[in-house]
């Protein structure tokens, strides 16, 4: 029983985008690992920007400064 957990920042990911992620990951696990899609579980957890950090700062603060993961 594969269990896949996707964590991403809460920034307006739509229901349709989440469905695409769930289907895409399920299809990939089915194709690559030959797992039964009916036994594959995908969980998407959205994390508030204040609760996610890197480089010693909260993402919310970095965004306010105009800094992204690809740009310092």
37 catalytically annotated: no
Band of the pLDDT at 68, cuts 50, 70, 90? confident
Q: What is the pLDDT of residue 21?
A: 98
| pTM (predicted TM-score) | 0.82
Q: Is it the case that residue 71 has pLDDT exceeding 90? A: no
CB 12 within 8 A of CB 50: no
**Per residue in 9-57, pLDDT tens?**
999 999 999 999 999 999 999 999 999 999 999 999 999 999 999 989 9
Phi/psi at 2 (5° precision): -70, 140
Q: Which of 1, 2, 24, 44 is catalytic?
A: 2
Question: What is the number of other CB atoms lying within 10 angstroms of the CB of residue 50?
Answer: 12
Do you know the residue count of the chain?
A: 72
Domains plus CATH for the chain? 3-64 (3.30.429.10)
């Amino acid at each position: 029983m594969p269990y896949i957990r996707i964590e991403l920042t809460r920034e307006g990911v739509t229901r349709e985008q989440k469905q695409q992620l769930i289907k895409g990951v399920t299809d990939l696990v089915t194709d690559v690992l030959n797992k039964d899609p009916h036994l594959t579980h995908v969980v998407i957890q959205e994390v508030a920007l204040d609760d996610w950090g890197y480089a010693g700062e909260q993402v919310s603060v970095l965004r306010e400064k105009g800094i992204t993961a690809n740009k310092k």
